[in-house]
Amino acid sequence: SAFIACLETNDYGKTFACLCSTPSGPVATTSNNCELTVTTTTTSTSITPLTCSNGGYLVDGICHCPSGYGGISCEQKYDEKLCEKIICKNRGVCAIRNPNGPYESVCLCRYGISGDYCQLNGTLGFCMPNFCLNNSPCKENIIGSTRHAYCDCQPGFNGLKCQNQYFQCTSTGK
């Protein structure tokens, strides 16, 4: 029998299974040799016709799963808690990237907002001298054809121009 595809099993990519074509239909096995599967299998191991769940789609007998789902029929949800671990600011929305794993959460920011957590509120234009306060550098971000300037605030400062001090260390750490 012939090898069809290598499938990720339901343990987050630690092991894989081979999908093999047999006279009785496709068979999933942890053996990496489809010939061994045919000679050692004595009971009926044919899989019922595969249907994909959670928005997955079937191509050549294999389910292609949407972001955050895996398993042979997309039945396993891998990302259900990832967006609970981060907070997106400025009305950013958490999403899952890398649909084939490893799964990562990322903030999708509104137009003019940037930063890992959408914490940088950009201003149209270019960086100018003294644009940012409290020794914070001005940075530029091009979104489409529009240039935005924003302040990358030093630790302990926030605000559009890093004008607000919200935290100050009590010692110099020496």
Are 69 and 8 members of one domain? yes
Look at residues 16, 42, 39 and name the one whose alpha carbon lies nearest to residue 29. Answer: 16
Residue 136 domain boundaries = 122-174
Q: Return the higher-pLDDT residue of 92 and 29.
A: 92
Residues 112 and 70 in one domain: no
Percent of the chain topping pLDDT 70: 52
Average pLDDT, the chain: 69
What is d(CA 79, CA 135) in angstroms, rounded to the nearest whole number?
A: 39
Is the domain of 83 the same as that of 147?
no
Q: What pLDDT score was predicted for residue 68? A: 62
For tokens 């030093």, name the residue: 154
Residue 11: pLDDT band (50, 70, 90) is very low
Helix, strand, coil tally for the chain in percent (to 5): 5, 35, 60
Domain co-membership, 83 together with 47: no
Is 106 found in the same domain as 56? no
Count of domains observed in the chain = 3
Residue 84 belongs to a domain with what CATH number? Answer: 2.10.25
Query: Do residue 23 and residue 87 come from a single domain?
Result: no
| pLDDT level of residue 37 (50, 70, 90 thresholds) | very low
Q: Is the CB of residue 19 less than 8 Å from the CB of residue 26? A: yes
Same domain for 57 and 14: yes
Pick 120 or 155 by higher pLDDT.
155
Is residue 53 very low, low, confident or very high in pLDDT (cuts 50, 70, 90)? confident
Q: Mean of the pLDDT values across residues 148-174?
A: 79
Looking at 49, 77, 105, which one is the last position of a domain?
77
- 66-96 b/e (C-beta count within 10 Å ≥ 16 → b): eebbbbbbbebebbeebbeeeebebebebbb
**Do 127 and 145 belong together in one domain?**
yes
DSSP secondary structure of 103-117: -EEEEEPPTTEESTT
24 and 59 in a single domain? The answer is yes
Amino acid at 84: E
Of the CA atoms within 13 Å of residue 157, those in its CB half-sphere come to 15
Same domain assignment for residues 19 and 31 = yes
Regarding whether 30 and 9 lie in a shared domain, the answer is yes
CATH number of the domain where residue 150 is located: 2.10.25.10
Specify the pLDDT at position 43.
40
- Cα 24 to Cα 41: distance, rounded to the nearest angstrom: 12
pLDDT digits (tens, 9 = 90+) for 93-128: 777 666 555 566 777 777 667 777 887 776 667 788
- Please, are residues 130 and 108 in contact by the beta-carbon 8 Å criterion? no
Residues 129 and 160 in one domain: yes
Greater model confidence, 173 or 143: 143
- Round to whole Å and give the CA distance between 155 and 166: 9
